Structure 1
């Protein structure tokens, strides 16, 4: 079955795919976004025969829902970890906190500008556009593991730059101290 046949099956199965995704993702808006991603993926598929196109589409939908749930969990954990490293409202006055945040953001932007193009692209796609690592890997022509390594190196570069006297580092010094105790243990 060619690409056009797969699209026809997708359109015929769309209501069921939407129900599956809504059930797995928890809401209709995320399900609609996932269906849009599926449509784009179908558009990119090679002209290869697919014996059971409906089953194939439901498997793609299930995998996409799983990827999105994992990414959302990681994003939540990462954001919670970031918030834990920040000074509490009672520790730093608002004006000072705003200045520190602006200064840190400038350091982050400068660091991203100095990164190799592929690393900066992976970071922007993941953090700003919130694209799944698998989609980034496909776009960059590398493995998901390769994307993870690029992101780890990018985060490390940013953290090192901030730690080396970049923007206000009260919360960052605490994070660095905690990391040091992890390395020793």
Structure 2
């Protein structure tokens, strides 16, 4: 199965790592892990391989994070005296950044697959901040039609996230430090 899905897996790993050489290294790790792991029957071998690849990427990110933490401790202990002071990195952890990036990719693909009316209503409502009444006027349809477009779009996005395993992820639940709205929370812009 690895040979059959090799091109897809390497593209998947390259997209997550941003480096084709690192992706090849991770594919070799995947090969070794798949060859040495004893499992029972697997219903969907392709999905199993992609999940293993995803976990290898996360392990690599965690390893880098630990290494950076050790180096910071080393710098803070005074073993090395830099010319400028070393400050902690205020950016989100690499693992969270990777999860958010993957979730954004899933959402971007799902939005591209929406029918034109639902996509336009969603973009106007969620990304451009128009009210549903304003969208109805812009699109030349009733407010009820706008609500149906947005509901269908949100259902499609939730399904895409659920099918990708990101629906329950932390990235879905928090946006810029505040809870993300769901379509059922009753808030209208």
Same fold flag (TM > 0.5):
no
Q: TM-score, normalised by structure 1?
A: 0.41
Give the structure, 1 or 2, with the largest relative contact order (CA under 8 Å, sep 6 or more). 1
- Name whichever structure is richer in helix by fraction: 1
